[in-house]
Structure 1
Amino acid sequence: MSATRRTGKCGRSPSRRPDGKPLSRSPQSEPWAELREEALAHPEAQEAYEATRIRFELGRAVRERREALGMTQAQLAEAAGLQQPAVARFEAGGTMPTLPLLERFASAPGMRLSVGFEPLDRAS
């Protein structure tokens, strides 16, 4: 049997034993949803998750607008006075931007930044 066949695609572990039977999960493994729920039960984790969600949503909004306009990251970066890697990090949710930086990201593709507050019971 070749190395590719033993390890599966991309070097991952095989999903079947050599005899063809499926590998069983270890008793300690849990579905991702259960692990996530357990982790988010901690207030610190909830705060970190919310901060990550906000960064991701901001980046997604800019990326969607940029793509709708047919702009590249380099073109958006030039229009905003930034470097392309900064745009890539922002769009991926890798940075928590300041308000002035958000204004630059908004104006470069022809948007207006709108910041507001809403009650937590209505927030998504």
Structure 2
Amino acid sequence: MNHSRWKTARTRALLGEQVSEDSAVAALRLEIRYALVFGQAHYDRRTELGLSKGEVARRAGLTLAQIEQIEGGDTVPTLPLLQRLAAALEAELDIHVAAGAEAEVRFHSPAA
């Protein structure tokens, strides 16, 4: 969707008109929301532990730029990367995704 179409669709939405969004745009928006939710959960756990981005990167075998991309919501991690990040943050990772609901992502200390 080009910028002028987006602006028009946004304006129509603000005016209360029905706005249809093609499935590709909807899927992209959902992916972006998931990446942002995950990035925020990663940031929250990292700061809870008092770790720097560099320390998490070292522990996970990543670069500082990769950690910044993850926390900024610029990337959607793969399952193997999720496992490495959970280990680096000394945590278990819970991800809850349901149709029609916002995704929930939570790092937490492992059960004793």
What TM-score, normalized to structure 2? 0.69
Q: Which has the higher strand share?
A: 2
Mean Cα deviation higher: 90-99 or 37-46: 37-46
Larger Rg: 1
- The answer for the alignment partner of 1:11 in structure 2 is none
Higher relative contact order (CA 8 A, sep 6+): 2
Post-superposition Cα deviations, 1:5-49, rounded to whole Å, max 9, x if no partner, equal xxxxxxxxxxxxxxxxxxxxxxx8x759639x9776222211110
* Cα 1:44/1:79, change in 2 over 3 Å: same
- Structure 1 residue 97, shift from structure 2 partner: 1.1
Identical amino acids, percent of aligned pairs: 30
* Secondary structure in structure 1 of the residue aligned to 2:74: coil
Check the 8 A contact 1:55/1:96 in 2, yes or no: yes
Question: What SS class does the counterpart of residue 58 from structure 2 fall into?
Answer: helix
For structure 1, which runs of at least 5 residues remain unmatched after alignment? Answer: 1-27
Alignment of 1:104 onto 2:84: yes
* 1:89 matched to 2:69: yes
Give distance in 2, aligned partners of 1:47 and 1:34.
Answer: 21
Of the structure 1 ranges 39-48 and 63-72, higher mean CA displacement relative to structure 2 is found in 39-48
2:37 to 32, 51, 57: 57
- The runs of at least 4 consecutive aligned structure 1 residues that moved more than 6 Å come to 37-40
When normalised by structure 1's length, the TM-score is 0.63
Alignment: residue pair count:
93
Instruction: Kindly indicate whether the alpha-carbon contact (under 8 Å) linking 1:40 and 1:46 is maintained by their aligned counterparts in 2.
Output: no
Aligned to 1:44: 24
Select the residue among 51, 66, 72 that pairs with 1:71. 51
More helix, by proportion: 2
Query: Is the 1:76–1:109 contact (alpha carbons within 8 Å) kept by the matching residues of 2?
Result: yes
Q: Which blocks of at least 5 consecutive residues in structure 2 are unaligned?
A: 1-7, 103-112
Deviations 1:42-88 (A, max 9, x none): 22211110000011111110111001111110011011111111100
Aligned partner letter, 2:58: E
Q: Which amino acid aligns with 1:114?
A: D
